[in-house]
Amino acid sequence: MRSWLLLPLFFLTSGTPRSPRIVLPGYFTCRGALMLESGNGLSCYAKTQAACQNGQLVLAFERRLSPRTARARFEIADTVHLRVAAPQRQVDITYCSAATGKPRQYFVLYKRVPAAEKRYLPYPLRAWGVSAQGHLVEVPVKSLRCLNNDYGAY
């Protein structure tokens, strides 16, 4: 008789399996940004602060777990591992817009230029955005126009 009671409990608790929680112990947060439209976050991590400029990076999409009115708590939902080996290349989180569409936040790997020269990044090499399913996906940079966060800094 008891086995009949366990059978419905088994089916109620065994839904689709959740992917394992992503954790990055010992990593340094290089930069981060809050996505205003969803409340989720984008963050860039490295093993050391020096590796933020030149080294192995982890680009992360962080899903917000708490309501907007409460203290923010996030869970890493997806990551992309990237090696930045050239000192003239840099990764940043910036707003980009396609020819038809409103600006959204992306991770952008670009060739560095002097800070105050251009309003838009003249040499974006690669870009990653968040899909509707909550995954980081690479997007073609040919269709993007990305703001230079250092424009007018000097």
Mind listing the pLDDT tens digit of every residue in the chain (154 residues)? 455 544 444 444 444 445 556 778 889 999 999 998 888 999 999 999 988 888 899 999 999 998 888 888 899 999 999 999 887 899 999 999 987 788 999 999 998 866 557 888 888 999 999 999 999 999 999 989 999 888 765 5
User: What is the DSSP secondary-structure string of the chain?
Assistant: -HHHHHHHHHHHH--SPPPPPB--TT-EEEEEEE-TTTS-EEEEEESSSGGGTSEEEEEEEEEE-S-TTSPP-EEEEEEEEEEE--TTEEEEEEEEEESSS--EEEEEEEE---TTS-SB-S-EEEEEEE-TTS-EEEE-GGGEEEB-TTTT--
Domain boundaries, the chain: 22-146
